[in-house]
Chains A and B, each alone.
Chain A
Amino acid sequence: MIDIKNIEKTFIVGTHIVKAVNNVSYHVNKGDVVVVIGPSGSGKSTFLRCINQLETIDAGQILIDKTDITARRVNINKIRAEVGMVFQSFNLFPHKSVLENITLSQVKVRKRSKKEAEEKARYLLDKVGISEKANVYPSQLSGGQQQRVAIARALAMDPKIMLFDEPTSALDPEMVGEVLDVMKTLAKEGMTMVVVSHEMGFAREVGDHVIMMDEGRIIETGTPEHFFTNPVEERTKLFLSQIL
């Protein structure tokens, strides 16, 4: 489903050149749930953002369904419509109601009728458990509710892949569960997901693979069970001991 081949991404920070993603290759199968962990600054978010080209890569190749999305002539907007993304800070559109947040891109990108888009939006709001909030503005919602709207907004495009960039890190602890529940449902329905998160409980329950990143590289991969029972790398052991 997703083929990542030797990708690199460098940032220039002041006078320093930082390799945020350094020669990373990985393969995600259809229906897999991959959880990316690692200390802050390890490049995991950048890695995720490369998959829908929010960060343009400096070297390497990314193929989604055998289409090279990093090729020059590819229509990136078409690719992005197939790859949903959920952000740490929700990034809902504050000037639009919850319903409009979910219908806008359906109408503008998928060219659906307004009625069709609204039906879809209401169905998804029901699915994430906040159907009664359709007509309020994002500022009137709690963090957990906002993140669930953001998930519904991404799902409205009928994506083949969902990317989650630390979806629960900005939430109050009591709201983490409601968002994770939605994500678990998605995973069980067979959605292909790449999740940057430190929620090891989530990884254990629905994760198929875990990637440990450090300093822009993948240093260890395996099943969640492998990470819980016998991680190999010292860096991984140290990191897990800090978050668990």
Chain B
Amino acid sequence: MLKIFKKNAFWYLALIAVIYLMGWGLKITAERMDYTWHWNRVPHYFLFTGLVDHYSSDEGVAHVDKIDDQKSKVTLEYKNGKKDVFTILSKTLLVKDGSPVTEVDKIGSEKVVSQGILVTGLITTLEISMYSAVLGMLIGILAGMGRISTNPLFKGLSTIYVEIIRGTPLLVQIFIFYFFFGTILELTRFTAGMLALAFFTGAYVAEIIRAGIQSIDPGQMEAARSLGMNYVQSMIHIIMPQALKRTLPPMAGQFISLIKDSSLVSVIAITDLTKAGREIITTSFYVFEIWTVVALMYLVLTFSLSMVVRYIERRFSVSD
């Protein structure tokens, strides 16, 4: 390792210098624009901490019990027999033990910690990508087998499907799924977006699978059939395992694309990572920070996926 470094030391240093220069250029540009960085505000969008005010909902009496130095438990006993229990920050407490309350009296504020909108968006992106990956894989395997079928019905249907999906923009497909199928079948926006992504991915997976199956030596199918296995058994036990292994690299690329393409579902108001970023920016104007963070979060997702695939590839290569 050290030897390699010594040999190319100049170029490694050059690489570091170029990266540094690019960062420096960005900083200068931001300064020229009078942009004020707010990196310290970013964690707020991962983990939201804030105060929520509580009010009484009827006429009654308040009972205050101290929990610790900072918090108190306030029990409101209303005249109609109902009760409200709040945990209030002691320093914001506006009632005393035993004091009467009327409707909509402010009692005090509670400190809440909840997941920030970036985390919500990340989870949505993960969920929608995962569901559509699994569904897209199933559709793709079926359509891929249809593509190599000699039956005109299966072959025709899967060819039409693949050509339509590959020939139209994903954005348009998402709109069609949401406004057209979504309306007819009464789908939620999440389902519509997920289905659009699944069918989109399925078409590409189908072509990958087709190529994978066709790359397997025909002798494999003949050997399996000559042993008395039927077509389906031969496909499941002999052809598909080999084809899937061979298609792992392009398949990984397709699923990485899927994670990135899922950002398009933000156009139908699904709060995925991209939409979350946009929502933050419309209220805060932290344009540079938020888009950088959002990009990094996508990068973490895609990079982890390619690491997982690399691991699987290594596991699969035992029979080579």
Contact (Cβ within 8 A) A139 B226: no
Contact (Cβ within 8 A) B319 A139: yes
The docked-state distance in angstroms from the alpha carbon of A80 to that of B222 is: 11
Q: In whole Å, how far is B92's beta carbon from the nearest beta carbon of chain A? A: 66
- Main SS class of interface, B: helix
Q: In whole Å, how far is B87's beta carbon from the nearest beta carbon of chain A? A: 60
Contact (Cβ within 8 A) A109 B229: yes
Confirm or deny: B81 has a beta carbon within 8 angstroms of a beta carbon on chain A.
no
Instruction: Give the residues from 126 to 150 in chain B that come closer than 8 angstroms, CB to CB, to chain A.
Output: none
The docked-state distance in angstroms from the alpha carbon of A138 to that of B229 is: 20
Q: In whole Å, how far is B217's beta carbon from the nearest beta carbon of chain A? A: 7
Instruction: Give the residues from 73 to 100 in chain A that come closer than 8 angstroms, CB to CB, to chain B.
Output: 77-78, 80-85, 87, 89, 91-97
Contact (Cβ within 8 A) B319 A94: yes
Confirm or deny: B99 has a beta carbon within 8 angstroms of a beta carbon on chain A.
no
Interface size class of B (residues with CB under 8 A): 20 to 34
Contact (Cβ within 8 A) A157 B228: yes
The docked-state distance in angstroms from the alpha carbon of A108 to that of B233 is: 8
The docked-state distance in angstroms from the alpha carbon of A77 to that of B230 is: 6
Contact (Cβ within 8 A) A87 B318: no
* Residue of chain A at shortest CB distance from B237: A104
Q: In whole Å, how far is A95's beta carbon from the nearest beta carbon of chain B? A: 5
Contact (Cβ within 8 A) B219 A77: no
Contact (Cβ within 8 A) A85 B226: yes
Contact (Cβ within 8 A) B227 A137: no
Q: In whole Å, how far is B177's beta carbon from the nearest beta carbon of chain A? A: 37
Partner of B223, one of A77, A82, A91, A110: A91
Contact (Cβ within 8 A) A80 B226: yes
Interface stretch (choices B15-23, B238-246, B279-287): B238-246
Contact (Cβ within 8 A) B219 A91: yes
Confirm or deny: A209 has a beta carbon within 8 angstroms of a beta carbon on chain B.
no
Q: In whole Å, how far is B218's beta carbon from the nearest beta carbon of chain A? A: 9
The docked-state distance in angstroms from the alpha carbon of A59 to that of B83 is: 91
Q: In whole Å, how far is A93's beta carbon from the nearest beta carbon of chain B? A: 6
The docked-state distance in angstroms from the alpha carbon of A78 to that of B192 is: 47
Instruction: Give the residues from 110 to 127 in chain A that come closer than 8 angstroms, CB to CB, to chain B.
Output: 110
Shortest beta-carbon contacts, A-B, top 3: A81-B228, A91-B223, A105-B227
Residue numbers of A with Cβ under 8 A of B are 52, 54, 77-78, 80-85, 87, 89, 91-97, 104-105, 108-110, 137-139, 150, 153-154, 157
Residue numbers of B with Cβ under 8 A of A are 217, 219-220, 222-230, 233, 237-238, 241-242, 245, 318-320
17 additional A-B residue pairs with CB within 8 Å, beyond A87-B223, A105-B229: A54-B226, A77-B225, A77-B228, A78-B228, A80-B226, A82-B228, A84-B226, A91-B223, A93-B224, A93-B238, A95-B245, A105-B224, A109-B227, A109-B228, A139-B319, A153-B227, A154-B227
